[in-house]
Structure formats: structure tokens, C-alpha cells
Chain A
Amino acid sequence: MPFGTYKEVMALKAKDAKIAGVSQDGGVVTTMLCYALDKGIIDGALVAGKGDTPWLPKPTIATTKEQIIAAAGTKYTISPVVSVIKDAVRENGLEKLAIVGTPCQVYAIRKMQLYPFGARHIPDKIALTIGIFCTENFSYAGLKTIIEDHCKMPVDAVTKMEIGGGKFKVKGAGKEVAIPIKETHKYEQDGCHVCSDLTAEFADISTGSIGTPDGWSTVFTRSTKGKDLLGKAIADGLFEKKSMDEFKSAPGAKIQSGLDLLGKMDQQKKDKAKKTFDERKALGLFVTPEIVY
């Protein structure tokens, strides 16, 4: 089933100018974390914060709105966010944690809740999971190569990067450089190639840019918890909301949009995962059972 199981899907855009100014797309993750913190649904969030090395994210335990907003925006490299979950619960004494992660990180969290081998008193502290759409990730050296060798921009000059419309784009040093996304494929983390999940199918709420125009996000609610919380945030006027039908592909359109586009890309990821799984099996390699779903 495309997109996994979900309760609702919609397009959202945060109204708060402070968030819209720093967020990657519609500001859904940042807004929802701030809202959940305000309402006492969570007392902290694990996010990809900014580290000392340019564009190398640091898994961060955010307990204030300022910290959450400071972590806004996508970083296109690995942020091992699960690694700090025990610190958040033990050292920071947090009891209602939100975790923002890629689909694979969300399923790591879900596995941890079911099989918490070394996660003493963690499973019941996970209050909310927000998944972000992911086609694949890059290692830091890979990302740096793309930016410096392909886009010809020093990594520390970059102010924003994004992927969309078949391009990898970086902004900084007063210019904008876009290269075909194809050029970046070889730097993809190989572990991503067995992953069937583009839309974070196991998160309470999942969101990403694919399917909606610039400044908007496509959002799925998947659990009752996620649906209720997002419903309240919308009722409290935090978002502009549109139906995904507004972004449907025009009949006979060459370039797809809306859920048609997301569905197509999701299927491509699933097909690629299946193909890679079979190839590795044929080589006699160990591949995670059930990884293809």
C-alpha cells in the first residue's frame, strides 16, 4: 500500500513567521514540537541540531522552543538521533520525549519500544514520533563532496540546501547552485538501498516536501495520538491547510505532482529496495529479514 497506513493526509504551512523563516518547507515539525511542548504533551525532543562542523548535525536534546527552532531545517547527512535517547531520559530526566527522525530512525525507535534490550525504562517515555520523508541519505564526506566538488561551493559558505524538482540545490556566498540529482546518487549511503520506507510509515505524524509546492509540507497522521495532536494544532490556528487534491497532477500531465508524485517516488523506493534485497541475497550476503515491506 503506498504511504503505509494513515488516517489523514493534507498540505500544511506554518503561520508563525519566526518558524516559516527558518524551516525547510512548511515548518510542520518545528511547529508541532513547539506546540506539543506548550501543551505539556512532551517535555523534550530529540532533534538534528547544529554542531561545530558545518552541516554536520549533532543529535540534540531540545527542551525549549528556542532550541527547537534553532534546529529547524533539513540536514542532508546522518544524524544518529537515537544515540542520545538514554541521555535524554537518564541525565535530563525527561519523561515525555518526542523524536524526529528519518523513516529508518522511526523504525529503530519502534523496535526499541518492542524489544528494548538495552533500553531500560525508555519505551514508556516515548510520547511522540515525527517522521520526515526520506529518499536516501549521504555520509558527511559524501555531502561535502557534492557541495564542494560538484556545486563548487565551500561547505561553510552554504546557508541552505534542498532537494526538489530533480535538483540538488545549495544557497550561499550570494549565489545559488543547482546540480542534477542524478550526480549525487553515487554518494548515497548504501544502507538506504534496502529501505522500503519513504514516508516514515511508522511515525505518529510524518511530513516532507514531496507532493506540495515550495513553502508547504505534505503531512500524514498515522496514529490516533498523531491525529488528535495535529487536529488540535490546526484548530488552534497554527497552520494554513489545503487538501492534497489541490495539487493533483493535471490530466495527461507529463510531470506529476501531489500525491501522484509522492506515490510514484514511494513505489520507486520500494521497487529499488526489493531489487537490492534480491541482489544481495543472490550474492549470499546477510540482509535484514522483513526489511522489504
Chain B
Amino acid sequence: MTKPKVAYVHLSGCTGCLVSLADTYEKLLDILGAVDMVYNLTLADARTLPEGKFDIAIVEGAVCLQDKESVELIKEAREKAGLVVAYGGCSATGNVLNNSRGGQWNQPQHESFVPINRVVKVDAYIPGCPPSPEVIYNFCIAAVTGDTEYLKPFMANETGGYHCGCDLNTKVIQNSLCIGCGTCAASCPTRAIEMVYGRPSFNNVRCVKCGACFSACPRSFLPVNKIKAQLV
């Protein structure tokens, strides 16, 4: 089997997603062994995207619209990659960068940081700030082995593109689907969700809009067949 060629594209993000990828401990070797990492500024020597096509672009970070290089890089990645994966909150939802107002040194003109689907078509989203090492591992292995059933929820409009606790309000609670399990509260990286009388209560100031709560909610999607197969 030829290994899929993967480029790790780093836009405006904190590198926390990459750290989370490495936080899979020895399993990182499985991932690195299963793919041909053609571009990764932090982990590999190549300074530019390779010539010609490659298979997957994993994109960390939001696009800064005032940063010409970032815009060109994401456009180039989209053109060359078979699949573009918005990896982590900043790339998938804009995350905390939704609150950016610019005017900061040393690039005060950098003001608008947007999720990458504003400027390119995205094939899959992995929300979270950062996504857990385990979900990254599972995603990578499913992508390499062609486990499309596992990948399905990561595709557009199932997991991606969401922001804050408002998703839980509008999609889950308002649709009479919340059962008060507390998964959203456990999944929140900033403890912006507190369970009050069996329902999530949101601290909107603390929320970074990473999208983890809604994706983790058992009522956003429920992978029944996968769960059944897991129970042995």
C-alpha cells in the first residue's frame, strides 16, 4: 500500500493542535508510519508545500485575511490536496479568534481571523481546542484504512462549522433532545459549561467557541453501529 501523502499546514493557531497530535505518545509513530509527511513546518524540514498533488492537507489555525501569505498558502493547499481537513477549533470554527479585533503588535493590521471554510472548501472538520490526541489518532487511522463510516460525522454539517454552547441550545435543548448526561460539560476545555438541574448552563465569556461540546453530545450524532461493534 502506498502511504498517503500528508501536508500539515499551519496557519494562525497556537501549535496546540500539533502538540496534541504528538501527545498520542508511541501512537504518534503509528500515525507517522502510516503516512508520508511531505510538509510540516514544525516536525519536518520542507519549507514549502511540495510540487504537484498530495493526498491530505491537515490545516491547523484560522486564516488571517490581512496576511497575504496565509491566504495564498490555504488556496495552494486546497488546490493540491485531495482532502482538506480543518483540524482543531481555529481552523474548523474560528475558535477564540472569533473574538479577534486586530490592533496588536507586531502586526496591528492583522484583524480578521476566519475558519478556513470561509475561503476554501473543507472536506472534514475536527473540532476541539485542541482535539484530544485520541480523536486525532482515530481520525488518521480511519482515513488511512478507508473507514468511511467512522469518518462520516467529521464531514461538513455534521461536526464542523459549529461554535459555542449556542449549538447545544438551538440544536439539542430546543429540539427536546437533551438528557442531561453532562458530556458537554466534560468536553469543554475552558469549563464554560456547568450542569445546573440537569441542563448545561453556559458561561459565554469563557467559551472559546471550539465546537467540542456539540460534537461530543450523544444527541448531535450517535454512532450506534460503531458502538455495537465495540461491545465484545
Contacts and interface: CB of A to CB of B under 8 A. Distances in A.
Interface in B167-181: 171, 175-181
Contact of B138 (A59, A115, A122, A202): A115
B167 to A, nearest CB: 11
B213 interface: yes
B181 A117 contact: no
A187 interface: no
Contacts of B198: 77-80, 139-140, 189
Contact of B216 (A56, A115, A192): A115
B179 A191 contact: yes
Interface stretch (A17-25, A102-110, A167-175): A102-110
B176 A190 contact: yes
Contact of B230 (A80, A84, A113, A189): A113
Interface string A256-293: 00000000000000000000000010000111111101
A191 B176 contact: yes
Contacts of B132: 116-122
Contacts of A114: 138, 150, 223, 226-227, 230
B186 A193 contact: no
A152 interface: no
A107 B222 contact: yes
Interface in B123-150: 126-129, 131-135, 138, 150
Given A110-B230, A114-B226, A280 B175 contact: yes
Contact of B223 (A79, A115, A224): A115
Nearest to A77: B198
A140 B197 contact: yes
A111 B230 contact: no
B153 interface: yes
Contacts of A287: 175, 177
B1 interface: no
Contact of B182 (A81, A193, A291): A81
B43 interface: no
B69 interface: no
A140 B179 CA distance: 13
B189 interface: yes
Contacts of A15: none
Contacts of A115: 135, 138, 153, 215-216, 223
B195 A83 contact: yes
Contacts of B207: none
A141 B183 CA distance: 22
B228 interface: yes
Contacts of B12: none
A107 B227 contact: yes
Nearest to B20: A120
A195 B221 CA distance: 13
B49 interface: no
Interface in A45-98: 56, 59, 77-86
Interface string B51-78: 0000000000000000000000000000
Contacts of A223: 231-232
Contact of B215 (A117, A224, A280): A117
A108 B128 contact: no
Contacts of B177: 191, 194, 286-288
- Residue of B135, B179, B195 contacting most chain A CB atoms (<10 Å): B179
Contact of A82 (B126, B182, B225): B182
- Residue of A105, A117, A193, A202 contacting most chain B CB atoms (<10 Å): A117
B37 interface: no
A123 interface: yes
A112 B231 CA distance: 14
A101 interface: yes
B133 A121 contact: yes
Nearest to A113: B230
A101 B181 contact: yes
B224 interface: yes
Contacts of B213: 118
Given A195-B179, A202-B231, 4 more contacts: A114-B138, A115-B135, A116-B135, A289-B222
Interface of A: 5, 56, 59, 77-86, 101-102, 104-105, 107-108, 110-124, 137, 139-141, 189-195, 202, 222-224, 280, 285-291, 293
